[in-house]
Amino acid sequence: MPAWIPICSVDDILPLGSRRVARPKGLPVALFRDAGHQVHALLDRCPHKGGPLSQGLVMDDAVACPLHNWVIQFSDGRARAPDEGGTPVFACKVEQGQVYLDADELATLALDLTAPLAGPCQRLHAAA
Amino acid sequence: MNLSDTPQGLRQKLVVVGNGMAGVRAVEELLKLAPDLYDITIFGAEPHPNYNRILLSPVLAGEQTIDQIILNPLSWYAEQGITLHTGHTVVHIDRVTRQVHARTPDGGLMQVPYDRLLLATGSLPFIPPMPGNKLQGVIAYRDIADTQAMIDAAARYQHAVVIGGGLLGLEAANGLMLRGMQVTVVHLAPWLMERQLDDTAGKMLQQALESRGLKFMLGAQTQQLVGGPDGRVLAVQFKDGSEIPADLVVMAAGIRPNTTLAESCGVHVNRGIVVSDTLQTITDPRIYAVGECAAHRGIAYGLVAPLFEQGKVCATHLAQFGIGRYTGSLTSTKLKVTGIDLFSAGQFQGGEGTEQIVMSDPASGVYKKLVIQGDKLVGACLYGDTVDGSWYFKLLRDGRPIGDIRDKLMFGESNIGDVGHQGHNKAAAMADSDEVCGCNGVNKGSICKAIRDKGLFTLEDVRKHTKASASCGSCTGLVEQLLMVTAGGDYSAAPRKKALCGCTDASHEEVRAAIRQPLADGSKLLTVGGVFSHLGWRTPNGCSSCRPAVNYYLISTWPKEARDDPQSRLINERSHANIQKDGSYSVIPRMWGGETTAAELRRIADVVDKYQIPTVKVTGGQRIDLLGVKKEDLVNVWRDIGMPSGHAYAKALRTVKTCVGSEWCRMGTQDSTQMGKDLERAMWRMYAPHKVKFAVSGCPRNCAEAGIKDVGIIGVDSGWEMYVAGNGGIKTEVAHFFTKLKTAEEVLEYTGAFCELYRQEGWYLERTVHFVNRVGLDYVKRRILDDHDGRQALWAQLQFALDGEPDPWFEFDKAAVDTRQFIPLQPA
C-alpha cells in the first residue's frame, strides 16, 4: 500500500503547468497538471542532460525539457522517439482536489541521480 | 469505445495489394497512429519482403547486397501481426462482396475479405513493341529478379545493350560495366537524360561516362532484336540496317503505372489510379491508392519522398482521423552513379519569357544553369557541383523574389553570408570524421550510420535523429548528398507547404492569416485554444513548437485584446530569466544604451555577494550578466537590483549597443549613446518572432558593430544611415543599407515601423535576416520607404502595442507572472 501524503491542492498548479516538490534527499520531484485535473509526477531530471523537467512546457501527456526540447511522457517517463532514455515515474493521485505522493517513494526512489553542474564549481570538481 | 483495445477478430480488415515501399510505408504510418484498428493482410507478387527499390542500382554495381537493401525483414511483419502473402498475384477484386482474389505460388486461388483496400501496385517497365523483345536475354530493370538476371548475365556474357539513356538506363549501364561487360547505351533523343538535363549538361554527363568506358549511340532508332538459334538475343539492329552485338538487352525506356487490376474492377484510371487529396480512389471511397500506381491531380510520382508523403496522409484517413490532405510535391532529379553529381529541377530548359544565368567550366567539369522568370527562380540544372541544389530547390519552391540576391545567386548559399560546412561541396569525397554540420557537431560517419541503422529516408528524419542541418541549415545540401549516397533517398522532393509542426497541417502563413481574419460572427480568435479548435489541431493542447508560436501570433496581431498565455511560453519567458544547463538562471538587468552608474554597480555587487552568485560577466551586447542564480532567488534578486528587466531571455528587443559618440569621442559626429537610449526606451518590452538587437554608432568607424544587427544605425555628418537584417550568429550576414535619415525622430519612426512589419509578418523563430530573405528587401523598402502613411501607421501600431506594457520583474500581476513557480513545494 502506498503511504500517500498530501502535497498541495490541484489548484496550486496551473492547468498545463508544473511545480517542484523538494525532497530531504535526492533531486526534486516534478508535478505536471494536464488541461483538466489530472496530475503526473516524474523525477525532475531529463534523461538527456539532466535538465529540470519541471521548467518545461507541459503538453497533454508529456513535457518538453527546457534544455534541448526532448519530450518525456508522463505515463512511463520515457523519451519520445527518436530520442531514447527515461526518468523515474512517481506514484501520484488526486482525491477531492488534493494531490498526494507516496512518502516511501519520496524517501527512497532515485536518490542516486544527481543534477548537472555549471559554472566555476565544475573546475573544482574536475580538479578533485 | 477505445479503439486501441479492439480485440482481434472484431477489427476491420485492411488488405494491401503491393508489398513495395509505398504500400508498406503507408502501413507503417498507420501502425504508428492506430496499431490495433485493423487486421492487415499484404499481398506481394515478388517472393521478397519489402526492399529499397532505389538501391537496386548500387546492388547491380556491386556496392551493396540484396540483404543490405531489405527494409522490412519477415520478422517485422510477424511482430506487427501482419499476414504477408509473398509470391501471390492478386487477380481480381470483387467490390460488391469486398473480396480480393489472389493466385497462390502453387497456382491455387484464395480469397480475402476487406473493409478497406489499399492499392500500391507500383509501376511496370515499358517494353517498346519491336520484333525480338521476347527473346531470352531481353529484360527490363525493375526488381530483384531483373537485377539478379543482369548480375548472372554479366558473369557469362560480354556484350550488353541498354535501350534508353534516362536515369534508370544509365544506372543499369554503369552497373553492368562495373561488372565487366562492354556496354552500349542506345538512346533516341539527341542527348542523355533529356527530360532532366539540358544539352550541355547531358553532353558533359556523356563525356564523363564515356571516359569510364561506356559507349553511346544517340539519336539511334532500334529496328529489331536479332535472336540466335538457341532463342537468345544476339544483336540489336537499327533502322539504317546496321547491327551491334548484344548478349543482354536491358529495356529502360520508361515505366507505366500498373493499373491493370484497378481497371479490371472498374476503378477510374487515367495515367494512373485517379485519387483525391485523401488518396481515396474517386470511384470507391473504400479503396485507396498510393505510390507509382496512383495519379494525383494528373501526376503519377516515381520518387520516394512524394510516396512517403502520400503514405502519411493515407494513414491518417485509414486511422479515421479524417485530417491531412496531400496537395502534391515538387520534385527534382539526381543520378545514382557514384562520382557523378547532377541535379535538376523546375523549368531547367528555360523557354519563352525566361532568362538564364550560366556558369560553365568544362575543364573542372562544372556547369550550372539557373533559369529566371520575372524575379523568381523557376529552374536549375547543375552538373559537377550540386551542393547548392537544395538551396535552389527551396528558392524555387518558395517562389521567393530573388531580385536582391540575383548577382550572388550563381555562387551559392555560402556566398550570401553562410558558413557552417567549411566549403565542402562533395559529400562523397569527405572522410567519415569530417564535420558536416558545424552547428551541432555532426560528422559524416555518424550521419551515414544513422541513415543505415535507423532506415532514414528524408531530410526531416535525418534532422530528427542526428540534428545535422537542423540549425542554420547551410549543410542541407551535403546531408542530402549523404542521404542519396547511403539510402538513395530522392530527398529534395518536398511538400508544397510546410506545416507549423506535427500537430497541424496549417503553415505559419495560414495560422497568421486565420488569426488576422475576423470570424463569420465578427468576433476574433483571441486564445491559443480557440486557434487550435478553429484550425482543427490534431492535439488538444499543441506542443512546444506550436503553442509559443500561436501565442506570439495572437499577442502581436491583437495587442490589448489577446491575453498573453504564460503556459504557452517556454521557460525563459515564463520565469523571465535565462535557464542554464544546471537549471539555475542568469539575470541581465537593463542598462539603457549600455550606460550605468556607480549606484547601479554597487547594487549589483551587493546582490552578487548576498545571493552568492558564482559568475558575473559582461555580455557581447554591453550588459552585465549574473549567472547561476537559483530560481528561488530570482524575485529577490530583481527587487534588490532595482533595475528594469533586460529581456535578455526573451524573443524581444534585447540590447541597444552603442559607441560613446559625439559626447566624448573626438571622432564622433552624432550622439550615438543618446540615440541608443532613446531607441531602447521607445522599444523595450517589444516581443517579436525572435530576439531583436540594435546598435548605434556615432560615426562610420562603427565601433558599435551596427553592421551585424537587426537594425544598425550609423551616424554620419549629415544625419544617420539605417541598416537592417544583419546577423552575427549562426548565419553571419552583413546588414543591408536601408535608407539615410536626417533626424533622431526619423530614426525612431523608421526603426519602429521596420520592427512592427517584422512583428506582424515574420514567422515565429524567424530572425530579421531570414524574414527579409524570405519576403525580399524590395518588399520591405516598398512598405517602409515608399509608403509614408503605411510607415507611420506601423510605427503607431507598435507604440499602441507597447503602451503600458508591464515590466515583468516588478509588475507580476499585469505581466501574468505566476510567482508560485519560484517556490518549491514542501511535503507535509
Burial class of residue B569 (count of CB atoms within 10 Å of its CB; 0-12, 13-18, 19+): buried
Interface contact B583-A56, CB threshold 8 A: no
Asked if the structure places residue B22 within a domain, the reply is yes
Q: Which residues of B touch A24 (CB under 8 A)?
A: none
Tell me, what CATH number does A110's domain have? 2.102.10.10
Is the Cβ–Cβ distance between B282 and B153 less than 8 Å? no
Residue ranges of chain A with per-residue pLDDT less than 70:
125-128
Of B454, B547, B825, the CB nearest to A21: B825
Residue B322 is placed in which grid cell?
Answer: 479524417
- Set of cell numbers at residue B347: 523549368
Q: How far apart are CA B174 and CA B172, in angstroms?
A: 5
Q: How far is B62 from chain A (nearest CA, A)?
A: 32
Put simply, whether B825 touches A (Cβ < 8 Å) is yes
The angle formed by the CA atoms of residues B55, B272 and B40, to the nearest 5 degrees, is 65
Q: List the domain range (segments joined by +) for residue A72.
A: 4-127
pLDDT of residue B637: 98
Of B544, B548, B581, the CB nearest to A49: B581
Is B584 an 8 Å CB contact of chain A?
yes
> Would B600 be classed as within a structural domain?
no
Ranges in chain B, pLDDT < 50: 1-4, 417-423, 491
No. of helices (H) and no. of strands (E), chain B: 24, 38
CB contact under 8 A, A64 and B826: no
- Interchain contact A66–B (C-beta under 8 A): yes
How far apart CA A32 and CA A14 sit, in angstroms, is 9
Q: Nearest CA of chain A to the CA of B547: how many Å?
A: 9
What residue has cell string 508522463?
Answer: A74
CA gyration radius for chain B? 31
E strand or H helix at B721: strand B719-724
Q: Do B627 and A119 touch (CB under 8 A)?
A: yes
What are the Cα distances from residue B821, in Å, to A13, B28, B567, B626? 9, 41, 12, 20
Q: Does some domain include residue B631? A: no
Element containing residue A65 per DSSP (H, E): none
Task: Tell me whether residue B391 is in a domain.
Answer: no
Nearest to B828 among A6, A16, A69 (CB): A6
Judge whether A126 is closer than 8 Å to chain B, CB to CB. Answer: no
Q: CA torsion B37→B42→B48→B50, rounded to 10°? A: -50
| Total number of domains constituting chain A | 1
Q: Helices marked H in B219-272 — which ranges?
A: 260-264
CATH number of the domain bearing residue B438: 1.10.10.1100
On whether both B84 and B222 belong to a single domain, the answer is no
The long-range contacts involving B200-203, CB below 8 angstroms and separated by at least 24 positions, are B200/B360, B200/B367, B200/B369, B200/B383, B201/B342, B201/B344, B201/B367, B201/B369, B201/B381, B201/B382, B201/B383
Please name the residues between 457 and 496 in chain B that touch chain A, using a CB distance below 8 Å.
464-465
Amino acid (1-letter code) at residue B5:
D
Q: Between chains, do B544 and A64 touch, taking CB under 8 Å as contact?
A: yes
Q: Are residues B33 and B108 in the same domain?
A: yes
- C-alpha span between B768 and B787 (Å, rounded): 20
pLDDT one-digit tens code per residue, B310-360: 998 999 999 988 778 898 887 777 666 667 788 888 888 888 899 999 999
Contacts B31 to A, Cβ<8 Å: none
- CB-based contact, A98 to chain B, within 8 Å: no
Q: In this complex, is the C-beta atom of B158 within 8 Å of any C-beta atom belonging to chain A? A: no
Q: For every residue of B742-764, which 3-state class applies, written as one string?
A: CCHHHHHHHHHHHHHHHHHHCCC
Instruction: Give the angle subtended at the CA of B336 by the CAs of B191 and B354, to the nearest 5°.
Output: 50
Cα torsion angle, B750, B752, B754, B760, sign:
negative
Q: Order across the sheet with B222-227: list the strands.
A: B222-227, B233-238, B243-245
B767 touches chain A (CB under 8 A): no
A31 in contact with chain B, both atoms CB, cutoff 8 A = yes
User: Helix (H, G, I), strand (E, B), or coil: what is residue B213?
Assistant: coil
What is the rounded distance in angstroms from the CA atom of residue B87 to the CA atom of residue B95?
Answer: 23
Cα of A122 to nearest chain B Cα, Å: 11
Residue B264 falls within a domain, yes or no? yes
Question: In terms of domains, do B658 and B796 share one?
Answer: yes
Can you tell me which residue has the cell 546496321? Answer: B242
Q: Do residues B527 and B463 share a domain?
A: no
Tell me whether residues A20 and B825 touch, CB distance under 8 A: yes
* Spatial separation of the C-alpha atoms in residues B421 and B583, rounded to whole Å: 32
Nearest residue on chain A to B542, judged by CA atoms?
A: A59
CA dihedral B733, B738, B741, B747 (to 10 degrees): -60
B612 touches chain A (CB under 8 A): no
In this structure, the answer to whether residues B98 and B228 fall within a common structural domain is no
Nearest Cα of chain A lies from the Cα of B539 at a distance, in angstroms, of 8
Following CA atoms B641, B642, B644, B650 in sequence, which dihedral angle do they give, to the nearest 10 degrees? 40
User: Distance between CA atoms of B511 and B500, rounded to whole angstroms?
Assistant: 8
Within a domain: B14: yes
The answer, for B544 touching chain A at a CB cutoff of 8 Å, is yes
Whether residues B44 and B149 fall in one domain:
no
Residue B153 sits in which domain range?
Answer: 138-253
pLDDT at B9: 62
DSSP state of B517: S
CA neighbours closer than 13 Å in the CB half-sphere of residue A21: 28
- Cα of first residue to Cα of last residue in chain B, in angstroms, is 40
Q: What is the CATH number of the domain that holds B731?
A: 3.30.413.10
Angle between helices B476-487 and B444-454 (to 10 degrees): 50
B396: burial class by Cβ within 10 Å (0-12, 13-18, 19+)?
buried
- A113 grid coordinates: 541521480
If you compute the radius of gyration of chain A from its CA atoms, what whole number of angstroms results?
15
Question: Where does B485-601 show beta strands of DSSP type E?
Answer: 494-495, 578-579, 585-587
Contact residues on chain B for A5, CB-CB shorter than 8 A: 827-828
B145: closest CA of chain A, how far (Å): 35
* B821 part of contact set with chain A, CB < 8 Å: yes
Same domain for B63 and B200, yes or no, is: no
> Residue B454 falls within a domain, yes or no?
yes
CB proximity under 8 Å: B 12-71 to A: none
- Please give the tally of structural domains in chain B: 5
3-state SS, residue A79: strand
Question: B107 exposed, middle or buried (CB, 10 Å; 0-12, 13-18, 19+)?
Answer: exposed
pTM of structure:
0.73
Name the nearest CA neighbour of B675 among B567, B592, B737, B559.
B592
DSSP result, B153-164: HHHH--EEEEE-
Tell me the C-alpha distance between A62 and B359, whole Å.
52
For residue B336, what pLDDT is reported? 61
Which residues in B348-417 belong to E strands, given as ranges?
355-361, 366-373, 376-383
Do residues A45 and A113 lie in contact, with contact meaning Cβ atoms separated by under 8 Å? yes
Same domain (yes/no): B692, B715: yes
DSSP state of B687: B
The 3-state DSSP class for residue A73 equals: strand
Same domain, residue pair B194 and B231: yes
* Closest Cα in chain A, distance from residue B761 (Å): 25
Q: In the prediction, which pLDDT does B475 show?
A: 78
B383 vs B205: CA distance, rounded Å: 8
Return left, alpha or beta for B399; rule: phi > 0 is left, psi -120 to 50 is alpha, else beta: left
Looking at chain A, how many residues does it have? Answer: 128
Q: Which amino acid is at B459?
A: L
How close does chain A come to B787, measured CA to CA in Å?
41
Whether the CB-CB separation of B219 and B399 falls below 8 Å is answered with no
Q: Is residue B515 part of a domain?
A: yes
Cβ contacts from A onto B, under 8 A: 108
